[in-house]
């Protein structure tokens, strides 16, 4: 029988498995806080976060396509979706990047929009990497 345990100590996640003990600091996604709030078992939590990672990557792709095609209305919808799911899954930096981009789009401040989209893309990539690393 394999021994796999996941423990949380503050912002640190401790995994004990056949490879030994691994310590990982959660910097981007508050998985531990989400788990504490909803009280789900590890496997269900993993399934939800993997779905979240897939969804946010799809929305990121949509943002980039709508930016390229200069479809501001559709771009705003995709950014709004990211803002909502990032908030729900405690991915604060992605939420804040999406919120900042949403404000710029709402106010038709499109001059430096590529910078805001790049920041959002980087945040999403970092969040997905952290999620995958946490649940591997």
66, part of any domain: yes
pLDDT of residue 112: 93
> Higher pLDDT residue, 114 or 5?
114
Range of the domain at 104: 40-135
Structural domain count, the chain:
1
pLDDT at residue number 95: 96
Whether 33 is covered by a domain: the verdict is no
Q: Give Cβ neighbours of residue 36 (< 8 Å, ≥ 6 apart).
A: 8
Q: Is 7 domain-assigned?
A: no
Q: Is residue 94 part of a domain?
A: yes
Give the pLDDT confidence score for residue 136 in this predicted structure. Answer: 83
Q: Can you tell me the distance from the alpha carbon of 103 to that of 51, in angstroms, rounded to the nearest whole number?
A: 27
pLDDT of residue 24: 52
Question: Is residue 31 one of the residues assigned to a domain?
Answer: no
Kindly state the tokens that stand for 12.
Answer: 């640190």
| Domain membership flag for residue 3 | no
Residue 4 placed within a domain: no
Model pLDDT for residues 62-96, shown as the tens digit of each residue? 999 999 999 999 999 999 999 999 999 999 999 99
pLDDT at 104: 96
What is the predicted pLDDT for the residue at 22? Answer: 54
The 10s digit of each residue's pLDDT in 14-68 is 556 555 665 555 578 999 889 889 999 999 999 999 999 999 999 999 999 999 9
- Where residue 115 sits, what CATH number does that domain have? 1.20.120.160
Sheet with 20-25, edge to edge strand ranges:
5-9, 12-17, 20-25
pLDDT of residue 58: 98
Which of 88, 90, 112 has its CA nearest to residue 100?
Answer: 112
d(CA 127, CA 52) in angstroms, rounded, equals 10
Residue 93 located in a structural domain? yes
Neighbours of 21 (CB within 10 A): 10
């Amino acid at each position: 029988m394999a021994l796999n345990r996941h423990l949380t100590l503050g912002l640190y996640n401790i995994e004990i498995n056949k490879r030994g003990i691994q310590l990982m600091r959660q910097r981007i996604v508050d998985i531990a806080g989400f788990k504490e709030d909803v009280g789900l078992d590890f496997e269900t939590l993993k399934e939800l976060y993997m779905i979240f990672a897939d969804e946010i990557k799809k929305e990121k792709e949509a943002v980039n396509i709508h930016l390229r095609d200069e479809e501001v209305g559709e771009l705003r919808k995709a950014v709004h979706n990211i803002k909502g799911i990032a908030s729900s899954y405690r991915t604060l930096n992605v939420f804040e990047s999406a919120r900042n981009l949403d404000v710029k789009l709402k106010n038709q401040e499109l001059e430096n929009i590529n910078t805001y989209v790049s920041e959002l893309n980087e945040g999403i990539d970092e969040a997905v990497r952290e999620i995958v690393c946490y649940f591997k």
